[in-house]
A = this chain, B = another copy of it.
Amino acid sequence: MPRTLTNTEVEDFRDRLCDVAAGLFETRGRDGFTMRELAAKLGVSAMTAYRYFRDKDAILAAIRARAFNRFAQALEEACARPGDAAARANAAGEAYIRFALDDPTSYKLMFDLSQDDANYPELAKAAERARHTMTRHVHPLVEQGLLAGDPDLIGHVFWAILHGALMLKFAGKLDSNFRAVLDEALRALVSGLQPRNAGR
C-alpha cells in the first residue's frame, strides 16, 4: 500500500464504511450500532474508522447526508420523466412515498432530530438539496395556473403532509389506512389550492 492514501482511496473507504454502517443501522437499530461491530464487518481494527471520521457521530452524519442525496436524486429523476407539470409533480410525490416505504431506515435517519445539521456542512448541504428539490416542481404548477399561491409555501405544505403521514405511520398511529389518509389529504389540498378556492 502506498505511503499516502489518494483522495479517491479515502473516499472509497468512506463509501464502503457508510454502506456497511447503514446496514448495521438497519439490523441493530440506532442504539445497537457499535464501532467494534462496524470495524469487524469492514475487516479492520476498531480504531481504523477514526482515521476517516472524527467520531461515531460524524459517521451518522455522513450516512444521513448520503441518504439525503439519494433521496433528492430519486425525486429529481421522477421529475425529469416525460409528461406535463401535473404528471411530474405527481411522480415526485410518488417517488417520495416510495423512497420512504422502501427504505424506512434511511428515511427515519434523515429526519432524526437528535443531530444538528449545522455541525456537519456536508449534511447541511445534502439536506438543503433535498429541501430545494421538494419545492422546485411546484413552480410550474403555479405558473400554469393549476395551483394558486406562493410556490415555496405550497411546496412546504405538500412536504408537511407527506412527512406527517409517513411519520405517523412509522410511529404506528395510522394502523393500516396510511394510503387512504394520504390520498384524502392530497385530494383536499389540491382542491383547496385551486385558483378559485385559494387566497381566502
Contact = CB atoms under 8 A, between A and B. Distances in A.
A190 B164 CA distance: 17
Interface stretch (A38-46, A69-77, A150-158): A150-158
B153 A31 contact: no
Contacts of A31: 114
Contact of A193 (B131, B165, B188, B200): B188
A68 B170 CA distance: 17
A191 interface: yes
Contact of A164 (B108, B165, B200): B165
Interface string A129-152: 001000000000000000001000
A156 B171 contact: no
A111 B114 CA distance: 13
| Copies of this chain, tallied across the complex | 2
A86 interface: no
Interface in A79-125: 108, 111, 113-114, 116-118
A113 B164 contact: no
B172 A168 contact: no
B189 A197 contact: no
Contacts of A193: 188, 192
A191 B184 contact: no
A48 B124 CA distance: 42
A160 B149 contact: no
B157 A168 contact: no
A10 interface: no
B184 A154 contact: yes
Given A159-B164, A192-B193, 15 more contacts: A29-B114, A30-B114, A127-B172, A131-B173, A154-B184, A156-B177, A160-B165, A160-B174, A161-B185, A164-B164, A164-B165, A187-B200, A188-B189, A188-B192, A197-B197
